[in-house]
Chain A
Amino acid sequence: MSLIHIKQRIYRCAIVLFAVALSTTLTNNAVYANDNGSSTKNSVETLKRDLLELNKELFILEEELLFPANTQVAIFISQDAGLLFKMDHAKVLLNNKAVNYHLYTDNELNALSRGAVHRIHTDNLNQGKHKLVIVLGGHGPKGREFKRAAELEFEKSTGTQYIELRIVANTKNQQPEFEFNVWD
Chain B
Amino acid sequence: MIRQYHNKPLRLTWYRAGRPAPGARPASFCGFVIEFITQALAHITLIFFLSLPLLCFSNLTRAEAVNLIDSNIERSHQVNNMAYGELLFHYYQHQALNGITHILVKNQHGGYQEHQDHADILQGALYLSLGMTEHAETIFTATATNSLNPETRNKAWIALAELAYGQKNYQKAKIILINNIEALGASDNYKQQKNQVHEYLGLIFLREGQYQNAIEQLAAINHDPLKQRYASYNLALAFFALKENDNALILLQSLLKLPTYNAEEDAIRDKAALALGQHYLEQNKPYLSKQAFSEVRLSSAFANEALLGLGWANLSRAELSTALAPWLELLKRDHAQKTVQEAFLMTPRAYEQLNAFQDAFSSYIIASRVYEAEIDHIKTTLSYINQNNWLEQLKPENTQAAPGNDFLFKQGTESVPLNGPEAAYLYQLFSTNNFNKGFQQFLELQELENHLTKWKTKLPVFNLMLENQVFKSNALIRQLNNKINSIDIDKFSDQVAELSNETNMYTEQENFFLLANDKEQSILNSFKKLEAIIARLPNTEEFSSIRSRYRIIRGTFFWNLKYNSYRASYAFKNELQKTREELSKLDLNIKNLQRSKDIATNRHSIHKKRINSLELKIENLIGRIQTHKISQQAELQSMANTLLNARLTHTSNLLAQTQIAIARLQDKAASGERRIP
- Whole-angstrom distance from the CB of A163 to the nearest CB of chain B? 9
Chain B residues near A8: list those with CB within 8 A.
660, 663-664
Known contacts: A40-B632, A111-B89. The answer to whether A56 contacts B641 by CB under 8 A is no
A61 nearest in chain B by CB position: B610
Q: Are B462 and A105 in contact (CB under 8 A)?
A: no
User: A13-48 CB contact bits vs B (8 Å, 1 = yes)?
Assistant: 001001100110010011011001100111111011
Known contacts: A26-B646, A45-B135, A48-B448. The answer to whether A55 contacts B89 by CB under 8 A is no
CB neighbors of B among A153-178 (8 A): 162, 164
Q: Are A162 and B82 in contact (CB under 8 A)?
A: yes
Chain B residues near A62: list those with CB within 8 A.
458, 462
B642 nearest in chain A by CB position: A26
- Whole-angstrom distance from the CB of B213 to the nearest CB of chain A? 31
Q: Are A45 and B131 in contact (CB under 8 A)?
A: yes
How distant is the Cα of A53 from the Cα of B108 in the complex, in angstroms?
12
> Is A98's beta carbon under 8 Å from chain B?
no
How distant is the Cα of A111 from the Cα of B441 in the complex, in angstroms?
26
User: B639-660 CB contact bits vs A (8 Å, 1 = yes)?
Assistant: 1011001100100110010011
Q: Are A45 and B660 in contact (CB under 8 A)?
A: no
- Whole-angstrom distance from the CB of A87 to the nearest CB of chain B? 14
CB neighbors of B among A115-157 (8 A): 115-119
Chain B residues near A60: list those with CB within 8 A.
105, 108
How distant is the Cα of A53 from the Cα of B455 in the complex, in angstroms?
13
Q: Are B656 and A164 in contact (CB under 8 A)?
A: no
Q: Are B455 and A12 in contact (CB under 8 A)?
A: no
Set B86, B131, B405, B645: member contacting A76, Cβ < 8 A: B86
Known contacts: A37-B438, A47-B625, A56-B101. The answer to whether A114 contacts B614 by CB under 8 A is no
> Is B607's beta carbon under 8 Å from chain A?
yes
How distant is the Cα of A6 from the Cα of B494 in the complex, in angstroms?
126
Q: Are A107 and B462 in contact (CB under 8 A)?
A: no
Q: Are B97 and A111 in contact (CB under 8 A)?
A: no
> Is A51's beta carbon under 8 Å from chain B?
yes
Known contacts: A23-B649, A65-B607. The answer to whether A54 contacts B656 by CB under 8 A is no
Number of B residues, CB within 8 Å of A: 69
Chain A residues near B635: list those with CB within 8 A.
33, 36-37, 40
How distant is the Cα of A40 from the Cα of B135 in the complex, in angstroms?
16
> Is B179's beta carbon under 8 Å from chain A?
no
Q: Are A49 and B469 in contact (CB under 8 A)?
A: no
Q: Are A61 and B130 in contact (CB under 8 A)?
A: no
Chain A residues near B451: list those with CB within 8 A.
51, 55
Chain A residues near B445: list those with CB within 8 A.
44, 47
> Is B618's beta carbon under 8 Å from chain A?
yes
CB neighbors of A among B307-338 (8 A): none
- Whole-angstrom distance from the CB of A143 to the nearest CB of chain B? 24
Q: Are A61 and B645 in contact (CB under 8 A)?
A: no
Known contacts: A12-B660, A54-B614, A117-B85. The answer to whether A45 contacts B462 by CB under 8 A is no
Q: Are A51 and B448 in contact (CB under 8 A)?
A: yes
How distant is the Cα of A66 from the Cα of B614 in the complex, in angstroms?
17
Set B108, B621, B660: member contacting A56, Cβ < 8 A: B108
- Whole-angstrom distance from the CB of A14 to the nearest CB of chain B? 9
A45 nearest in chain B by CB position: B132
How distant is the Cα of A19 from the Cα of B654 in the complex, in angstroms?
12
B80 nearest in chain A by CB position: A115
> Is B479's beta carbon under 8 Å from chain A?
no
Q: Are A65 and B462 in contact (CB under 8 A)?
A: yes
User: A77-112 CB contact bits vs B (8 Å, 1 = yes)?
Assistant: 010000000000000000000000000010110111
* List of 3 A-B pairs having minimum Cβ-Cβ separation, nearest first: A117-B85, A111-B92, A116-B88
- Can you name 12 extra interface pairs (CB under 8 A) apart from A56-B101, A56-B108? A8-B660, A23-B646, A26-B646, A36-B631, A37-B635, A50-B621, A50-B624, A55-B451, A108-B404, A111-B91, A119-B82, A162-B82
